[in-house]
Amino acid sequence: MCGIAGIYGVSDKPLLKRMCNVIEHRGPDDSGYYVDDAVSIGMRRLSIIDLAGGRQPIFNEDGNIVVVFNGEIYNFRELRYDLEQKGHRFTTDSDTEVIVHAYEEYGYDCLDRFNGMFAIALWDMDRRKLFLARDRVGIKPLYYAAIDGVLVFGSEIKSILEYGIKREVDVQALADYFVLRYVPAPRTMFKGIRKLDPGCYMVVNTDGIEKKSYWNLEFKTIPGNEDYFSNNILKMLKNSVKRRLIADVPLGVFLSGGVDSSTITAIASEFSSEPVKTFSVGFYGAKYDETSYARNAAEYFETDHTEEWVDIDNADILPELIYQADEPLADPAMLPTYLISKVARKKVKVVLSGEGGDEAFAGYDHYASEIGARNMLRCVPGLLRKLVFKLGEEVNECALKKYLLYVGSRTTHEDSYSYRLKLRDGGYLNTDILRTDGVKDNTRALFHSDGDYLNCMLGFDINYWLPDDLLMKVDKMTMANSLEARVPFLDHELLQLVCGVPSGMKLGKRLLKMSVKELLPAEVMQRKKHGFDVPIKEWFKGDTLDEYLSEEMIGDTPYLDSKGVHELWGRHRSGKGDYGVLLWKCLCYVGWYDAYW
C-alpha cells in the first residue's frame, strides 16, 4: 500500500518530492522516485508485502519499464508463476514486480489478469507512454489534471495542488454534492481536477490522452437455483477472504456484529492460527448502539477485541477529517471510521472491512421500499402527479414537502434527482447551483435501460455511491492513519457472480444469509440492518458545532447564503424539522473551503 504521484511533461524532482511528502501519511515507511526528461513519478510506501525487497519504483529486467503502485494484487503469486514459465525473471517477492512483467507480456490487457485493488502509474520508456490505471470497483483513488500539455496525477488531490493548479470550485460538482452528499466521478470539487473512473485506464503521450474502460459490471442473469448460488457464493467468499489475509504484517477486522463483518470475521478465524484482532466503535448518546452485537460476535469467534467510543467532544477533529478527504464528503461515518482506524493502527497495519455487502446482496431496506412505492405510484395519473409535485415546491414544512415531492416525482428512479434537487432548495444555496442538472444524465442512462429495476438501483449504487462515498471514506480515513483497508465483498469475481443472481433471490441479503448460515450465530442472522448511527440530529441542536459553521465562515464560502443556513439551523433547533443531513453537508463544504483556500 502506498500513495503515488507524478507528472508527465515535466522533469522536476524537488516538485515531485513535495507532491509525495504531502501524502506521507499514506506511506510513512519509505519513499522512491524516478525522473527523466519526460516524466517524474514517485511514491510513499506503507510496507506490507516483502518488507525488505518491495521498494518502489520497480523496473523490469531491461530497465525500460518502471512502475509505482498503490494497492495489492492478491493473485500475484499465481501470476508470477505463469510469467516465470514464459521466461520472466524476478528479483523480489513483491506484488509490485508482477505488474511490470505482466505489462511486458500482455500490454494493457494485463489489467484483466489482476485480482486486487490498485492505482498504477507505469512509464514505458521505449514507447514513451505513461500508463495509468484504476481497479475495477474504485477501491483505490486516482486523480489527474491536464494543464497546457502537462498531466499531473496522484492518489490524493493534495499532490496535484502542489503543482500550483488554480483553485476554483466546480459548480456542477457542488450541485451533485448537495444532492448526493458526495461528488461522483469523474468530477471533483476542484474545477479541472478529475477522478479516473473505476475500471478505466489512461495512456498519455505526445499525441495526447487516451482514456478507455477495461471492465464493466454486467447484470446478466445466470441460470441456477438457490443451492447452486449459495454454495458458490460461500466458496468464493472464503477464497476472497483468504486472499486478503496475505500480509507480512499484523492484520485485523472491523467488526460491527452485522452479517457482513461477522462473515469476514468467521472466515478469517477459520484461516488464522491465532485469535483474529477485531475492532468496533460506538456512540455515547446514540439511539442505537451496536457495540453489544460486536462484543457478542467477538466472544463467539474468540477474537482479540478492541472497542472505541465517540461523542460530540470528538468534533474537534472535524477540520482534520475534512482536509484528509480532499473534497467535501458529507458521510458522518467518516468520524467513527477515522477514530477506529487510529485505534486499530496501534495493533495492526491491515484491516478487512465489510463495504460492498449491502450493494452486492441488496441489503438496504430502501431497495424493497422503492420497488413497492414505484409499483403503487404507477396507478397515480401523470397530471395528478405534476400537480402534487408543484404543490410540494411551494410548501416549506420539511416532512410534508418531502412527501409531496416524492409522490409527485416517482414515475421512474431517474426522477428522484428532480425530487432531491427541490429538497435542497431551502434558501441556503446560490441560484447558480439550482440551475444545474448534475448527475441527472447519468441517472437517466442507468434507469432508462431495459434492465430489472432492482438491478438498476444496484447498478447506480455500485457505480456511484460505493466508489465515491463508501470506498472513498474508507480509503481516506484509514490511510490518514497509515492503515490499509481491504474489502473481501468486492472481489470482482464474486461481485460478477452475485450480479448474475436472479432479482427474486437478492432482496434483504437473502442469498448471502443462506450462504453463511452455518458460519454465524442465530443472533447475527436475525438482527435488523443498521448502519452507523451518528447522532448528527442531536449534535446540531447543541452549540458544539457552532464554530465550524459560523456566519463568518459561511460568508467566506461561495454559493452559500449565511442567513439561509442559519434560518435552517434555527428551524432544526426549534424542532420544526430535521435538517441535520443538510446542515452536515453545509458544514463539510464550508470546512473544505476553509481548509483549501
Q: Which of 2, 110, 456, 499 is catalytic?
A: 2
Is residue 281 marked as binding?
Answer: yes
Q: Annotation-wise, does 354 bind a ligand?
A: yes
Query: How many residues does the structure list for the chain?
Result: 597
- Check: CB of residue 237 under 8 Å from CB of residue 263: yes
Category of 509 on φ-ψ map: left (φ > 0), alpha (ψ -120 to 50) or beta = left
Half-sphere exposure of 231 (CA within 13 A, CB side): 5
Distance between CA atoms of residues 230 and 256, nearest Å: 23
Spatial neighbors of 275 by CB under 8 A, at least 6 apart, are 269, 302, 303, 304
Q: In angstroms, how far apart are the furthest CA atoms of the chain?
A: 73
Torsional sign, CA 198, 199, 205, 209: negative
Closest CA to 312 of 537, 477, 473, 475: 537
Q: Taking each helix axis as running N to C, give the angle between helix 382-394 and helix 398-409, from 0 to 180 degrees, rounded to the nearest 10.
A: 150
d(CA 596, CA 278): 35
Q: Residue 287: which region, alpha, beta or left (left: phi > 0; alpha: psi -120 to 50)?
A: alpha
Interacting residues of 121 by C-beta distance below 8 A, sequence separation 6+? 4, 6, 41, 67, 68, 69, 130, 131, 132, 153
CA–CA separation, 393 and 405 (whole Å)? 7
Contacts 24+ apart (CB under 8 A), 294-299: 294/255, 294/256, 294/257, 294/261, 295/257, 296/257, 296/521, 296/523, 297/255, 297/257, 297/261, 297/262, 297/265, 297/521, 297/524, 298/255, 298/265
Q: What is the dihedral of CA 231, 233, 235, 241, to 10 degrees?
A: -150
Q: Residue 352 and residue 344: Cα distance in Å, rounded?
A: 11
Q: Note the Cα 242 to chain centre separation in Å.
A: 22
Place of cell 523480489: 92
CA dist 403 and 493 (Å) reads 40
Would you call 410 helix, strand, or coil by DSSP? coil
Cell 477529517 belongs to: 321
Q: Does residue 42 have a known ligand-binding role?
A: no
Per residue, the 3-state secondary structure of 270-295, as one string, reads HHCCCCCEEEEEEECCCCCCCHHHHH
CA distances from 402 to 1, 222, 558 (A): 44, 38, 27
- Is residue 20 among the annotated active site residues? no
Q: Is 574 annotated as a binding residue?
A: no
Known binding-site residue numbers for ATP: 281, 353-354
Known binding-site residue numbers: 95, 281, 353-354
Known binding-site residue numbers for L-glutamine: 95
Active site (catalytic) residues: 2
